[in-house]
């Protein structure tokens, strides 16, 4: 059995288990590795430290970041280790010299003033940009709700002034008080003909996951245009809304436990890690005070 055939089996297995997002990441890794090998049938016997070092160099040459390289390597490593457990190959530790860590990324949070600027921007003549802005603000208003959770909100999830939903990532139930600003966004759009609350999944006959994925891509593309228009310090995407809510809450001395509960994290430790790279403003100010004493 070739490596390609084996990972294809794992992708099919993940789909049967309903782990669609994971199957998509495995597919992306297989596509990347197959492009490097230029061979549809890479054999397990070919896997060694030299081959993986060449693959790493190939990814770097294509301009991939360390985190993207690590993303592909960790998936291939997981598949390789599973193949070892299944007795398809012996363990030769081919990944021992390639990067499989997680590099701290640049801050992806905006200030409260930036959020105000986004909200105040006149987009009345640009409905597409206005819609993208509304989706971003809805995420921020709902404590940084992820786009996939927004897409699958059902009309019945809003009852008696409370929005309730289960996070698709962790399975945790969250309850959010329905505020006027949220209703104002909802009122701008025609009632969705499907069971969903927001105008993200709108066609009954089309693949729901495909609609969500296409819409996320489109919204992020439009948000980046808004970000450039406002000359924001970072590219504007839906994920920035989640980061920004957490960062602004922290800057207003909201306890970590409250931020953790608000974002639906499994533990406060997860929130601490999440916040660690978001906002270094306080540390920067402290450092300036020290430097000014010199």
Domain residue limits at 48:
3-85
**Can you tell me the mean pLDDT for 83-107?**
85
In a domain, 185, yes or no: yes
For the cut 80, the answer to whether the pLDDT of residue 285 exceeds it is: no
- Mark whether 72 and 36 lie in a shared domain: yes
pLDDT of residue 261: 78
Most confident of 40-54, 224-238, 270-284: 224-238
Residue 10: which residues within 8 A CB-CB, separation 6 or more? Answer: 26, 79, 82
- Mark whether 194 and 69 lie in a shared domain: no
- Mark whether 195 and 272 lie in a shared domain: yes
For the chain, the first-to-last Cα distance in angstroms comes to: 67
pLDDT of residue 127: 96
State CA 193 to chain mean position distance.
Answer: 28
- Could you tell me which residue, 270 or 102, shows the higher pLDDT? 102
In a domain, 127, yes or no: yes
Residue from 106, 101, 138 nearest 247 by CA: 106
- Mark whether 123 and 198 lie in a shared domain: yes
pLDDT in tens, 147-164: 999 999 999 999 999 999
Percent of the chain with pLDDT over 90: 59
| Cα 182 from Cα 203, distance rounded (Å) | 23
In a domain, 108, yes or no: no
pLDDT of residue 257: 82
- Mark whether 34 and 142 lie in a shared domain: no
| Cα 3 from Cα 23, distance rounded (Å) | 16
For the cut 80, the answer to whether the pLDDT of residue 182 exceeds it is: yes
pTM: 0.70
| Backbone φ and ψ of 146, nearest 5° | -70, 155
| Backbone φ and ψ of 98, nearest 5° | -100, 160
pLDDT in tens, 165-180: 998 877 888 899 999 9
**Can you tell me the mean pLDDT for 192-200?**
94
**Can you tell me the mean pLDDT for 66-93?**
93
Residue from 289, 274, 278 nearest 110 by CA: 278
Tally of domains in the chain:
2
Cβ(110)–Cβ(232) below 8 Å: yes
Residue 224: which residues within 8 A CB-CB, separation 6 or more? Answer: 235, 236, 237
């Amino acid at each position: 059995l070739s490596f390609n055939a084996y990972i294809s089996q794992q992708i099919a297995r993940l789909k049967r288990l309903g782990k669609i997002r994971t199957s998509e990441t495995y597919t992306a890794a297989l596509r990347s590795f197959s492009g490097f090998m230029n061979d549809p049938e890479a054999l397990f016997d070919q896997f060694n430290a030299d081959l993986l070092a060449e693959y790493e160099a190939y990814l770097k040459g294509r301009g991939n970041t360390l985190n993207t390289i690590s993303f592909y390597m960790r998936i291939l490593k997981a598949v390789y280790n599973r193949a070892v457990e299944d007795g398809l190959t012996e363990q030769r530790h081919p990944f021992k010299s390639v990067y499989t860590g997680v590099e701290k990324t640049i801050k992806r949070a905006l200030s409260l003033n930036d959020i105000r600027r986004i909200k105040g921007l006149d987009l009345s003549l640009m409905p597409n940009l206005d819609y993208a802005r509304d989706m971003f603000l809805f995420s921020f208003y709902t404590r940084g709700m992820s786009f996939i959770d927004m897409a699958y909100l059902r009309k019945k999830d809003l009852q008696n002034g409370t929005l309730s939903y289960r996070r698709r990532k962790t399975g945790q139930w969250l309850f959010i008080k329905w505020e006027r600003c949220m209703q104002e966004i909802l009122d701008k759009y025609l009632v969705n003909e499907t069971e969903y609350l927001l105008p993200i999944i709108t066609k009954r006959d089309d693949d729901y996951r495909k609609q969500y994925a296409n819409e996320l891509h489109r919204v992020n593309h439009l948000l980046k245009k808004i970000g450039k228009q406002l000359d924001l310090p970072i590219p504007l995407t839906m994920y920035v809304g989640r980061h920004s809510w957490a960062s602004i809450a922290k800057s207003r001395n909201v306890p970590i436990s409250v931020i953790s509960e608000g974002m639906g994290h499994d533990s406060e430790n997860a929130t601490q890690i999440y916040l660690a790279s978001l906002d270094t403003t306080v540390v920067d100010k402290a450092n300036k005070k020290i430097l000014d004493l010199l």
